Structure 1
Amino acid sequence: MANRPHETQNSLEENLGQVMSLCWEKGKIAASYYDLSSLELFTCHEALDHSPEFAMTMNLLRQVKPLHILASGPNYFLRELLVYCHLPRDEDLGRYKVKSLRMAALLPLIIFPQSEKSLSANRRIILELNLPGMPGQLVAADRAAYVESMLPLHQHLVVHSLGALLQYIHANKSHLFLGLGSDVVVSDLKVYKLQTEVPMDDVTMGSLQIFSGTNHHPSGYKEGENQSVEGFSIFRLVDRCFSRLGSKSMKMILSHPIREPEKLNSRYNTISWYLSAKNSDKLQPIKKYLKNVGDISQVFRNIVLQPENIKNWHLFKKIVYNGYMVLKSCQEIGTTAAPNTLFAEVAEFIEDDNYILQVLHVLDRVVDLDEELSHSKFSVKMGLDVDLDEKKKLMISIQNSIQEGVQNELKELSSCVGDISSYYIPEVGYVIKVVFYGEQSLVAEQLNQNFTLVSRSDEAHYYQNNHCKELNEKYGKLYSEIREHESRICQRLVSFLKERLPGIQGVVKLCAQLDCILSFAQVADEMSLRKPEILPKKTLNIQQGRHILWALRQRMVPNDFISGESNRKLVTLLSAPNSSGKSVYLKQVALTAYLAHVGSFVPTSATRLGLLDSIYSRINCPESVYGNNSSFLTDVRQLGKVMTNSSDRSLILIDEFGKGTSLLEAQALLASCIENLVKRGEKCPITLISTHYADIYDIVPDKDKDAISIKTFENITTKNGEMISTFQLKEGRTVRNYATKIAGVKQFMEEINKRCTDGGNNLANIKVRLAVFMIWLRLHGQIIDYQKLMDRVCVHLLR
């Protein structure tokens, strides 16, 4: 896969993480979280979230990965959060409960109470919040009206979660590296609805390889190890972004599949325009500017914390300028040339770009970004403030007078003394910097007769003479007066930028999103991907589909999947031996649906689908030693989550259920799940089940069989009796016993017989050999009852 263009750039700053507040009550969840790096505040409307799985909560936690969690709700909800935090489920909740968030211990999980008293207190704290874009000097009634227009304060769970979050941040600012004065700084406010997303759990994301390293190590001790290294995954494939901000935005897009037709069609149309003939050259200026668009929120945070650092101001102006140039470039493409695309959406900002030009003009007018860069100090340009200019001119004249006087005194030493300049060092005063040539000791000895050495370095010595001392007594406070004057101007400038930051953030985020969609377009061009068609009805019609990752390594046999249109059977049962391509087929169907919901083209010849509201799977079965989860227990829990949370607009994938238990138990459980899904009728989710149980279809009640579509893979048998899969899907079912036909099984059986003979025909030895043989058969799709087989062996031995 191609290298990402931004991999050679320097990182801005590591993400400090997020603090999240969750409130769950009577099947509803509300959440708020604060980004410590960008100073952005996010609030979610109340949404349905059923117990005991709490799918919406777990999906949100997976997406945000908060540093600290504040939570309120019943004990069974809180214990699920303990498990998420890798704490024992039976841990005493009392140690995490606090009466006041101002006294909260800095734990990964903090439990706060809900009451009418806390509701009113939280509402008051929210109304006192300084939101971005809020007009200044509002009376209490107008402030309340403004805040309520921005936030859903009629939902009491939102008030609890947001108020508790603000209290916690304010009380623990030093721990959270915020040092931002008395108020909580909010650079931007985002309010969104969880219902617009397509929930996917960690297991499903890991099974589909959206990100590498998603699955947990079974022992637990390697939790979180090597998370920064991205291996073979969807993210690695599609991340061709030109900037680090684009790469960060790509992770957000892949973590948040959506079901908003307007947004998805805008992304599709942008990719289509990119793939059109003669359009790639028009994007060259945009690509150049996108490389220099960074995280403006993080840079602004650095300015708030370190306003004196001129490098932060340089970076801020660079990002604003390049973001503005992206707007101009998109305007040149024009809404008529690329309507209903992200280009048109970005170009709309140019109609109201006065605030961006105003920011650039103010930065040029106020901040001296050239002269003081080497000093790394914020400096105000000459000509802005008359009083400040007079003080600076006096400072310059003093330094010049010192320098001229010293140069006259040191004429005799001109051959040994290099550069001579004057500086002002706080707490020392005016000094003379002398750089030596040749032997320093003799020259320094002569200088010490008329000058006082106050400091030295490897490069130079710093001296004071009587003239310096006189100026220190007369103008010693001049430098501090200049810095204080510039500091006041700097604070006013920060306030000016804070008011306009939301608009600038909107531009920057659109640039990052455009960067991501251009990456999608590049992948679509390289891999011949096709645009999916979104329909209002429930359907998933995939023609000539391929697994997008598998296709990178070898040639694939394309296959179709139809459910909901010409095929009204919503449950598809795929039975075939192992190594015939069942798991790859399931994943390629899921990946096609997933990619369509993040706005990417898909690896098919044609795709028609109705938007899904969730994707659930029972594909990967991660055992856990430290979590005390056996293979079968994990299997059952995953399947239970799928059956409980799925709706009529869900996509369900079940692969090889029942490996961890007996044949009859596994068949009974799987058949009961199929029966439950079929009985839902029109509300049955789109379901794809693969199994090596050839007779599972016979166990399903006859009245339900008409609602099930039966598929298998075509297999051929070689002259040597070995079975090979063609990976071509076809109608029908597997009814034959293929265990003895699979390539290599005969040699394996001969080796077992030979070792049993060499080891002696004792019952213990035969048990071991048979157990190994059954494991091998199980891996190749043939299940044999071990006890029945052992009974036959015992009868044979007794004879």
Structure 2
Amino acid sequence: MAALTPMMQQYMAIKEQYKDCILFYRLGDFYEMFYDDALTASRELEITLTGKNCGQEERAPMCGVPYHAVDVYLNKLVAKGYKVAICEQAEDPKQAKGIVKREVIRIVTPGTNLSQQALDEGRNNYLMCLVYDDNQFGLAITDISTGDFYTTEVATLKELYDEIHRFSPSEIICNDSFYMSGASLDDFKDRLHVSVSTLDTWYMDEAVSVQKIKEHFKVASLDGLGLTDFPSGTLAVGALLLYLYETQKNTLDNLTKITPYRSGGYMIIDSATNRNLELIETLREKQKKGSLLWVLDKTKTAMGARLMRNWIEQPLIEKKKITARQDAVEELYNDMITREEIREYLNAVYDLERLVTRISYRTANPRDLIAFKTSLGMIPPVKQLLSQAKSAELKEIDERMDCLEDIYDLIEKSIQDEPPIMIREGGMIKEGYNEDVDKFRLSRTEGKTWLAELEAREKEKTGIKNLRVRYNKVFGYYLEVTNSYKELVPEDWTRKQTLANAERYITPELKELEDMILGAEDKLAALEYDLYCEVRDSIGEQVVRIQETAKAIAHLDVLASLACVAQSNDYVRPSINTKGVIDIQGGRHPVVEKMNNNQMFIDNDTYLDNKNHRISIITGPNMAGKSTYMRQSALIVLMAQIGSFVPAKSANIGIVDRIFTRVGASDDLASGQSTFMVEMTEVANILRNATSRSLLILDEIGRGTSTFDGLSIAWAVVEHISNPKLLGAKTLFATHYHELTELEGKLDSVNNYCIAVREQGDDIIFLRKIIRGGADKSYGIQVARLAGVPDSVIDRAKEISSWLEETDVTDKAKNLQVRTSAKKKEVVREAVPAEKQMSLFDIYPADHPVLKELAGLDVSNMTPIQALNTLYELQKRLKETN
């Protein structure tokens, strides 16, 4: 086999170290890929595949992308889950002896991509490390673009899934043992569109992990970091840091602190509830517009937008923290002038968190620094406004906010107000910041003037009237004196060349001018680059101060946004209680009323407590507003617990630990689950994980199976929830099973409500009002007419409905009677003897062989197709004997 060329030998040696990555190998102005990497990249990026002679018989597959547009191609590959290793030239090609030295400077993965085009400014880009150790899960989560870093531990898969859904990471890394936990990695990949990879064993070495944590945070022990009580979390933190050092190949200076937390510190919102309540995006279009985030997010900064999203997905469960936020929102609500002035200043603040990350990663360009300076210029007036704040939370924000005047002054003195993007082409440094820069810059425009002035001075000083300053490529600049004046040449001049009729000299001053003029462009660009790096690195050393200020600005931005939304939408401050009472007067759906451009929205009341009003059974026709009513109640509770005002006339909200929703019908064919199976799985999850402090929103339980089975399941679910010994959770339960309304008298905690409607002949008008009592009709046929179902179908449906109702009434009269116990106030249905029905044994004798065989069948162990075939055979035999 023919030997590879020296360059390809270098390529193969580097590729061997990064087998799991697509290698972007720098060649001149392109990043080239070869062999399998080229095949993959050309397919995924839809770029032309060519070939290169690498010393072998066949040309190697090759493709490439221009270095100046690399982010576009890089982002496409990373978004599809690939890892990309960036291999750069590590020395100047002009000074290289042989093949230019190259090395990988960074590995880009979905969780470590810092490209501005790839990042959504309104959401975090999390990388999560999962460690399964000693029947426990350790989690470490970071967003390296902002410097956020968290760790926790959970004991069950359900808690693990809750944390994964809460952070929605773009990349997960885990240890080998994670496969033994029962968690499905394929589920993460397919359902959540997360890149998942397994780390080598050495990443999980406890001693190595602890040492890396100590080195990174510069501490002698883990006690000061709060990791002592998180052994599995510590392993995850260490492994994550090792992974980042391996891939990012820098000091990770923006990861300045780790925040340990317990998962019970916030209201837990699982993926189904997040989806059904449309907290972040709509259910169908997956758009922000139409979600709760769309209503509440009027933030002015990218940092505030991310924090608002986090608040919505992580409501508080501590009354003190909730009321502290409310106090701050109320103060800004009442002082509109101050609030709007603050928001005006915040509008000019750029994304400080991600700017300082680019600075610490040394990838920031001069325009980033100008954006940084502009942002810092807004802080002093904001602090001036906050100095009069009365609420504790606003005062704390004021204390946390650093004006960073030293950084502002540094950028103001050093960087041009409108600098170029490129950092190696000059034009960045302001005049007056550095004397040498000013000289080099002057030399480009004033060089000829300087030479003319030097010539005039030397003429006058020496008396050589025909002295000339001249230039050639061999000697550079020189002073030329004819032989007739050479006796006047000073002794300190140095002779460079003798001609037939003249002598050429140089002087120290001329040599200095020559150096400045001839190398001005290159020297100026190099000097400006060095000075720029000094300024950038000086700012990077203040990353802790900057991040703390950025967090404070984000906090203020969210509070101001909530106050602005509350005022413009006529929200009220809810009272917060720990007694479990939810009392909403005149509640409105925050999203629906905004989508309707604040037109008349029919408000409704909600009352739930832990005693006699624990469960509300809600009946009424489809499209009448049951789901809207239940969702608005849940959203009002959630909004109250993030510290927001709420859409209502008044509200007293008892803190809930979780909100569960079971709404709508959907199947999961990919995993072999029917609509009903999905429904029952979600119901099982709710009943097993809800507590007496939870709020349940249940819509149409049991509708995916037969009427009697569905009714039985719905009835049993209500009984289970109502029993304080089993669950005892506050619940809004919408149903078309009118039989469930009978539970109001049977179970003390159940109350009936319905949607009021007005009938006009065959038509109905939805009044959208919740009233006490149960509905006696579902109005399904009328709703079908509104939906545009053909009249022929509607008419036939009415005929069938009348016949079924008559039959149902007759059967009930024959077979059931209702008695009421005054003592227990409960409704009991009792079976009474009915008319004798025709029996199979009245037609055929009891000892008929077919009947004997039928009685002996073990139906429970037969498949549906076996049962059908057996029934067919028995029926056939009966017909033959008849």
**TM-score, normalised with respect to structure 1:** 0.69
User: What is the one-letter code of the residue matched to 2:156?
Assistant: H
In structure 2, distance between residues paired with 1:361 and 1:369: 13
Cα gap change, 1:283 to 1:560, in 2 (>3 Å)? closer
How far 1:25 sits from its partner (Å)? 5.3
Q: What is the aligned-residue identity percentage? A: 19
Q: Which residue of 2 aligns with 1:357?
A: 405
**Matching residue within 32, 42, 45 for 2:152:** 45
**How far 1:742 moved relative to its partner?**
6.5
Return closer, same or farther for 1:711/1:701 CA change in 2, 3 Å cut-off: closer
Tell me the distance in 1 between the aligned counterparts of 2:704 and 2:679.
Answer: 8
Report the equivalent of 2:447: 402
The answer (yes or no) to whether the contact 1:20–1:68 under 8 Å persists in 2 is: yes
Q: 2:203·2:242 contact (CA, 8 Å) conserved in 1?
A: no
Instruction: Say whether residues 1:525 and 2:559 are aligned partners.
Output: no
Show the counterpart of 1:435: none
Instruction: Give the residue type in structure 1 aligned to 2:238.
Output: G
Partner Cα separation in structure 2 for residue 481 and residue 407 of structure 1: 23
Q: Hey, what's the Cα distance between the residues in 2 that align with 1:599 and 1:118?
A: 42
Secondary structure of residue in 2 paired with 1:695: helix
Counterpart for residue 128 of structure 1: 215
Residue 692 of structure 2 is matched in structure 1 by: 648
User: Contact 2:267/2:656 (CA < 8 Å) preserved in 1?
Assistant: yes
- SS at structure 1 position matched to 2:737: coil
Distance (whole Å) between structure 2 residues aligned to residue 326 and residue 19 of structure 1 = 33
The structure 2 residue matched to 1:22, chosen from 118, 130, 143, is 130
1:211 maps onto 2:317 in alignment: no
Corresponding position: 1:85 with 2:189: yes
**Structure 1 pair 513–12 and aligned structure 2 pair: CA distance change class (3 A):** farther
* Corresponding position: 1:368 with 2:415: yes
Question: 1 CA distance for matches of 2:785 and 2:191?
Answer: 46
Q: Report whether the alignment pairs 1:170 with 2:273.
A: no
CA distance in structure 2 between the aligned counterparts of 1:630 and 1:25, rounded to whole angstroms = 35
Contact 1:571 1:709 in 2 (8 A): yes
Shift in alpha-carbon separation, 1:541–1:213, aligned structure 2, 3 A: closer
1:631 CA displacement: 1.2
Q: Aligned equivalents of 2:602 and 2:731: distance in 1? A: 22
Q: 1:183 to 1:513 in 2, by over 3 A?
A: closer
**Following TM superposition, by how much is the alpha carbon of 1:665 offset from its aligned partner in structure 2, in angstroms?**
1.7
Aligned partner of 1:160 among 222, 235, 238: 235
In 2, are the aligned partners of 1:257 and 1:594 still within 8 Å (CA)? yes
* Distance across 2 between alignment mates of 1:739 and 1:307: 62
* Cα contact 1:532–1:602 (8 A) shared by 2: yes
Q: Which residue of 1 aligns with 2:143?
A: 35
Tell whether the 8 Å contact from 1:293 to 1:508 is kept in structure 2 after alignment: no
| Counterparts in 2 of 1:293 and 1:188: CA distance versus 1, 3 Å | farther
| Structure 2 match to 1:243 | 301
Q: Sort the Cα spacing of 1:271 and 1:27 in 2 relative to 1 into closer, same or farther, 3 A.
A: farther
The 1:773/1:406 distance shift into structure 2, 3 A limit, reads: farther
C-alpha deviations, 1:453-504, integer Å up to 9, x for none?
xxxxxxxxxxxxxx99997779877877777776666555555434432232
Q: How many angstroms does 1:248 deviate by?
A: 3.2
In 2, distance between residues paired with 1:263 and 1:369?
Answer: 45
CA spacing shift, 1:558–1:24, aligned 2, 3 Å: farther
Instruction: Give unpaired runs (5+ residues) of structure 1.
Output: 1-10, 90-106, 135-142, 174-179, 216-225, 409-429, 432-466, 757-768, 779-783, 785-799
Work out whether residues 785 and 794 of structure 2, in 8 Å CA contact, stay in contact via their aligned partners in 1.
no
Instruction: Give the SS at the match of 2:315.
Output: coil
Contact 2:617 2:740 in 1 (8 A): no
Does residue 621 (structure 1) correspond to residue 665 (structure 2)? The answer is yes
Residue range with higher mean Cα deviation, 735-744 or 153-162: 735-744
The reply on whether 1:301 has 2:318 as its aligned counterpart is no
1:162 deviates by 0.8
Offset at residue 536 of structure 1 (A): 2.2
Q: How does 1:533-572 map to 2 (within 5 A)?
A: 533-552=575-594, 553=596, 554-564=599-609, 568-572=612-616
Q: Which letter does structure 1 place at the counterpart of 2:292?
A: I
**Alpha-carbon distance in structure 1 between the residues aligned to 2:782 and 2:419:** 79
Pair 1:283–1:183, CA change in 2 (3 A): closer
Which residue of 394, 407, 417 corresponds with 1:343?
Answer: 394
**Which of 357, 367, 371 in structure 2 is aligned with 1:311?**
367
Task: Note if contact 2:589-2:631 (Cα within 8 Å) is conserved in structure 1.
Answer: yes
Aligned to 2:346: 290
1:612 touches 1:649 (CA, 8 Å); kept in 2? Answer: yes
Counterparts in 2 of 1:164 and 1:407: CA distance versus 1, 3 Å: same
Unaligned residue ranges in structure 2 (runs of 5+): 1-114, 454-475, 478-508, 806-810, 812-882
1:728 is aligned with what amino acid? Answer: K
Change (3 A) 1:284 1:200: closer
Deviations 1:728-778 (A, max 9, x none): 323322345755676849997961498x9xxxxxxxxxxxx99x989xx99
Match of 1:196 in 2: 265
Deviation at 1:513, TM superposition (A): 2.5
Contact 1:293 1:511 survives alignment (8 Å): no
8 Å contact from structure 2 (residues 640, 646) kept in 1: yes
Instruction: Give the aligned partner of residue 506 of structure 1.
Output: 548
Give the secondary-structure state (helix, strand or coil) at the position aligned to 1:269.
Answer: helix
Match for 2:386 among 312, 326, 330?
330
CA distance, structure 1, for counterparts of residue 601 and residue 441 of structure 2: 74
Q: Amino acid of the residue matched to residue 395 of structure 1?
A: F
Q: Are 1:594 and 2:594 matched, yes or no? A: no
Distance in 1 (CA, whole Å) between partners of 2:573 and 2:357 is 40
Q: Residues of 1 paired with 2:351 and 2:337: CA distance?
A: 27
Cα deviation, residue 274, structure 1: 3.1
Q: Report the secondary structure of 2:404's partner residue.
A: helix
Distance in 2 between the 1:88 and 1:478 partners?
56
The residue type paired with residue 205 of structure 2 is S
Query: Which residue of the partner structure matches residue 680 of structure 1?
Result: 724
User: Which of 728, 747, 772 pairs up with 2:769?
Assistant: 728
With over 3 angstroms needed to count, the CA separation of the structure-2 counterparts of 1:468 and 1:46, relative to structure 1, is farther
Structure 1 residue 161: deviation in Å?
Answer: 1.1
Q: Secondary structure at the match of 1:706?
A: coil
The alpha-carbon deviation at position 652 of structure 1 amounts to: 0.7
The alignment of Structure 1 onto Structure 2 pairs a total of residues equal to 628
Q: Distance in 2 between matches of 1:753 and 1:326?
A: 65
3-state SS of the aligned residue for 2:692?
Answer: coil
Provide the rounded CA distance (Å) in 2 between the counterparts of 1:76 and 1:189.
28
1:51-62 aligned at under 5 Å gives the runs 51=157, 54=158, 56-62=159-165
Shift of 1:539: 2.1
**How far apart in 1 are the matches of 2:535 and 2:788?**
80
Aligned 8 A contact 1:715 1:726 in 2: yes
Residues of 2 paired with 1:673 and 1:626: CA distance? 28
On the 8 A contact 2:691/2:727 being kept in 1, the answer is yes
Whether 1:111 aligns to 2:163 is no
| TM-score when normalising by structure 2 | 0.63
Contact residue 166 and residue 269 of structure 2 kept, 8 A:
no
Secondary structure class of the residue paired with 1:86: helix
Secondary structure at the aligned position of 1:653 is classed as strand
Q: Is the 8 A contact 1:544 1:605 kept in 2?
A: yes
Displacement of 1:706 after TM fit?
Answer: 1.6
CA–CA separation in structure 2 for the residues paired with 1:240 and 1:198: 23
Structure number with higher relative contact order (C-alpha < 8 Å, ≥ 6 residues apart):
1
> Structure 1 counterpart of 2:150, which letter?
T
> What's the counterpart of residue 181 of structure 1?
250
